Chains A and B, each alone.
Chain A
Amino acid sequence: MRPLTSGLEWFGELGLFFSRLVKTAMKPPYEWRELIRQCDAIGTRSLPLVALAGAATGVVISLETRASLVRFGAKSFLPAIIVFSLFKESGPVITGLVMSGRAGAGIGAELGSMRVTEQIDAMEASAVDPYRYLVATRVLACILMLPLLTVIADFCGVFTGWIANTLAEPISLRLFLEAGLKQVAYSDYIPPVFKTSVFGFIIGLIACFQGMRTNGGTEGVGRATTSSVVLSSLFLILADVVLVRLMMLFWPNR
């Protein structure tokens, strides 16, 4: 019974947190400078990590599918399969999970330690709303940056997919892309990319929420960081299931 009530309590508090965030973030003044700083911290600095994760995924997909397609004598589908699986699912989800580790932990730990060292109190005491200055900027930066990072991951994956493919059986990049992209419509590409905005929202909101409600000193900061990553990854995967189903409704497969 207790875990159930505390779980419901958590959702209630998250709801209140979100409504307070929306209320304060809607009104000017907007914190443009801090938003840009956060976009840099969350977006630009995650670029190498996300690119590498995308690249690794491309190689793995290429190696794995090649073996099975050769067995069925359908290896001409290989470029299309690599592109499809990266664009539609692997790219967005890998980016989301990598970012829930990097940005989720970063935000959770930063806000958590600001909370326990009274820096957030200090901010409130000098009449600055931390929801506007700290939370809104981070959540928005996550929403904006995730799709961009996903695009990078997608294309890195396609590129390394081609490399892995061409090492086994030489094919020019142009031919590979042509074969891969011929079948791809915008509706295969655009919705999954923007799906990651929802992932970004989940990561930003949960990490900020866990960070802001930190208590209990250094240990509390550790708990806030762990729970930011665990909960944001969990809700990200759950949201993915719902979003994939929704996208099938709005953009049905031809």
Chain B
Amino acid sequence: MQTQKKSDAKESPIQVKDLRKSFGAQRVLDGVTLTVQRGETLAVMGRSGTGKSVLLKLIIGLQTPDGGSICVTGEEMVGAGIDKKNEIRKKMGFLFQQAALYDSMTVLENVQFPLNRHTKISDEERQKRARELLAGVGMEKDLEKLPSQISGGMQKRVGLARALALEPEILLFDEPTAGLDPITAAEIGKLIVDLQKKHSITSVVVTHDVRGARAFAERVALLHEGKLVAEGTFAELHESKDPFVHQFLQNQETG
């Protein structure tokens, strides 16, 4: 049984089973089961307020589910102690919707922060590594500026560099292109694809942007009213007879 589980974990680093979460009377996730394959990019889509962001926060343990199980790289996240959770979190990177950079630290310090806390290398090496990570997302300048002094697109880049700092196996993106102009959004989208190719990271991307998702995601999971209504490639979804799936793709294409 144990070895079975281990080999499953190799193939699919994230396994979500029957996940439930309510806020008061509002049922946000109502029995969601989802598997993400190694190295793939899964786009989680749906209307606003259908618990997409909550799903990501449950996976990294920022919130606690009411029921169900979340297996990350073969280890159970639900009910794990803080130390155990932190061990699992080191294998994950999270890009927040508003980048969530530490506003009292410079760009460089932001990327160095996880390195300072979880690596045993010298300070010079950490700084070198942070500079490399920032160069990898196209941030060579403005490293001494504070987050409030750079643009939203640049903040997203820095957030991405920070998420990559501990060389995670898994990346979670919360609306990576929301609130950006179309050109910057496309750039960030391309960056995600490039990073995926380079590091072969498993990713889950929560997004509204169907066009963007087509560019970077291999599969789509569509949430509606707390339930998973469709899962598959874009081609498979287009074949779907479900009226909601149809409507969702249609509206997003034209609008």
The interface of chain A, by Cβ under 8 A from chain B, is 24, 113-114, 117-119, 121-129
Contacts of A114 in B (CB 8 A): 102-103
Cα distance, A127 to B98, chains bound together (Å): 19
Contact B92 A129 (CB under 8 A): no
B103, A127: Cβ atoms under 8 Å? Answer: no
A24/B162 in contact, CB under 8 A: no
Min CB distance A194 to B, Å, is 31
Question: Which listed residue (B62, B90, B113, B166) contacts A121, Cβ 8 A?
Answer: B62
Chain A residues in 8 Å Cβ range of B195: none
**Interface presence of B94 (CB below 8 A):** yes
Q: How many A-B residue pairs have CB under 8 A?
A: 57
User: A117-B100, A121-B96, A126-B117 known; 13 other A-B pairs, CB under 8 Å?
Assistant: A24-B82, A117-B98, A118-B96, A118-B100, A119-B102, A122-B100, A125-B62, A125-B92, A126-B89, A126-B165, A127-B86, A128-B113, A129-B82
Interface hits, B77-136 → A, CB 8 Å? 82, 85-87, 89-90, 92, 94, 96-98, 100-103, 113-114, 117-118
Note all chain B residues with C-beta closer than 8 A to A128.
Answer: 113-114, 117
Residue contact A129 to B102, C-beta cutoff 8 Å: no
A122 touches B89 (CB 8 A): no
In contact, B100 and A129 (Cβ under 8 angstroms) = no
A126 to B162 alpha-carbon distance, docked (Å):
9
> Contact between B57 and A126 (Cβ–Cβ < 8 Å)?
no
* Min CB gap B222→A, angstroms: 25
A-B contact pairs, 25 of them (CB 8 A): A117-B98, A117-B103, A118-B97, A119-B102, A121-B96, A121-B100, A122-B96, A122-B100, A122-B101, A122-B102, A123-B102, A124-B61, A124-B62, A124-B89, A125-B62, A125-B89, A126-B94, A126-B113, A126-B117, A126-B166, A127-B86, A127-B114, A127-B117, A127-B118, A127-B166
Q: Is the CB of B86 within 8 A of A119?
A: no
A113 proximity list for chain B (CB < 8 A): 103
* B89, A127: Cβ atoms closer than 8 Å: yes
Q: How far is the CB of A155 from chain B (nearest CB, A)?
A: 33
Report yes or no: B103 in contact with A122, Cβ–Cβ below 8 A: no
Closest 3 CB pairs of A and B: A118-B100, A127-B86, A122-B100
B97 neighbours in A (Cβ, 8 Å): 118
User: CB distance B98 to A118 under 8 Å?
Assistant: yes
Selected from A24, A117, A118, A126, the residue in CB contact (under 8 A) with B114 is A126
| A residues less than 8 Å from B85 (CB atoms) | 127
Report the Cα distance A244→B142, complex, angstroms.
54
| Complex Cα gap A126–B103 (Å) | 16
Q: In the complex, what's the smallest C-beta–C-beta distance from A45 to chain B, in angstroms?
A: 14
**Which residue of chain A has its CB nearest to the CB of B159?**
A122
A220 to B102, CA, bound (A): 19
Taken together as a complex, chains A and B put the C-alpha atoms of A20 and B87 apart, in Å, by: 19
B60 interface residue, CB < 8 Å from A? yes
Q: Which of A24, A119, A122, A129 contacts B94 (CB 8 A)?
A: A122
For the complex formed, measure the closest distance between the CB of A35 and the CB atoms of chain B, giving whole angstroms. 15
Of all chain A residues, the one with the shortest Cβ separation from B165 is A126
**How far apart are the CA atoms of A126 and B85 in the complex, in Å?**
11
Residues of A within 8 A of B100 (CB): 117-119, 121-122
Q: Please report the C-alpha to C-alpha distance between residue A129 and residue B61 in the assembled complex, in whole angstroms.
A: 12
A127 CA / B137 CA spacing, docked (Å): 22
Q: Which residues of A contact B89 (CB under 8 A)?
A: 124-127
Is the Cβ of A125 less than 8 Å from the Cβ of B86? no
Chain A residues within an 8 Å CB radius of B114: 126-128
| Contacting pair A119 B62 (CB below 8 A) | no
